[in-house]
C-alpha cells in the first residue's frame, strides 16, 4: 500500500516537470528559478525528474517551442508599406521569405527542428546573429550570452550562418576587434547539436 502511494506521488510530481522545461523565451529570472526548482526536485526524485524534464525540452524544441510566442527582435523592420506586427509562427528560425509579412504562415512553420545548445566560453558578453549580417543597420542580435552562459535554440535542416560579436559594454577583459563566424549544416537525421564560442575563434 505504501509503495503504491509513493508511486502515485512520484507520477504526480513528474507530470508537472513540463513547467520546469527551460525555453528560449524565458527571462533570466524564469530560467534561474526553474534551475533551482529542478535541483531540489532532482534530489527528491533521485534524478528521475531531470530525465523527464530533459525529454520534455527535447520534444518542445522539435515542435518549435509551442509555448513561446514568435520573437521579432532580430528580424529587422518589415518591408516598406507593410504594417508592423508579429511574424508568422516558425519564421524566426531562418531568414523570412519575402512574402512572410503579406500572406499565410511560412511553409517552414510545420518543418521539424533540431534542438541544439550555444555555449559561450569566453570572458565577454557576446551577441549572436543567425543567418543575417550584423554589420547591416538596424539588425539586432538573435540573443546575447553572458560569460559561461548557454542557451538552447532549434534550427530547421539546412545550412545556417552563425556570427557572434563581443558586446560593446563588456566589462573586465577587453573585447576583441574581430568576430566569430561559422557556417554549419543541420541534417534531417541529426538529433541535436552543440556549438561552443571560444576566444581563439574570434578573428
pLDDT of 86 > 70? The answer is no
Cα 189 to chain centroid, rounded: 20
Whether 110 has a pLDDT exceeding 70, the answer reads no
Q: Which CATH homologous superfamily contains domain 92-201?
A: von Hippel-Lindau disease tumour suppressor,  beta domain (2.60.40.780)
Tell me which DSSP letter residue 109 carries.
Answer: G
Delimiting residues of CATH 2.60.40.780 domain(s) in the chain: 92-201
Mean pLDDT of 49-69: 75
Distances (CA, A) of 142 to 68, 80, 131, 174, 196: 15, 22, 10, 23, 16
Tell me the pLDDT of the chain averaged across its residues: 74
Amino acid at each position: 500500500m505504501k509503495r503504491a502511494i509513493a508511486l502515485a506521488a512520484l507520477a504526480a510530481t513528474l507530470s508537472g516537470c513540463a513547467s520546469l522545461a527551460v525555453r528560449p523565451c524565458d527571462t533570466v529570472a524564469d530560467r534561474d528559478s526553474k534551475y533551482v526548482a529542478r535541483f531540489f526536485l532532482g534530489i527528491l526524485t533521485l534524478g528521475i525528474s531531470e530525465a523527464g524534464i530533459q525529454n520534455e525540452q527535447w520534444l518542445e524544441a522539435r515542435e518549435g517551442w509551442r509555448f513561446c510566442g514568435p520573437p521579432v527582435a532580430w528580424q529587422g523592420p518589415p518591408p516598406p508599406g507593410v504594417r508592423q506586427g508579429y511574424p508568422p509562427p516558425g519564421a524566426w528560425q531562418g531568414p523570412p521569405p519575402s512574402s512572410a509579412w503579406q500572406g499565410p504562415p511560412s511553409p517552414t512553420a510545420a518543418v521539424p527542428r533540431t534542438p541544439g545548445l550555444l555555449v559561450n566560453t569566453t570572458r565577454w558578453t557576446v551577441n549572436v546573429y543567425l543567418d543575417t549580417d550584423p554589420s547591416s543597420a538596424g539588425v539586432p542580435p538573435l540573443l546575447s550570452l553572458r560569460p559561461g552562459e548557454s542557451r538552447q535554440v532549434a534550427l530547421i535542416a539546412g545550412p545556417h550562418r552563425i556570427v557572434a560579436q563581443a558586446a560593446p559594454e563588456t566589462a573586465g577583459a577587453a573585447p576583441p576587434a574581430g568576430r566569430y563566424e561559422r557556417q554549419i549544416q543541420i541534417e534531417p537525421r541529426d538529433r541535436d547539436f552543440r556549438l561552443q564560442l571560444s576566444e581563439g575563434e574570434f578573428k
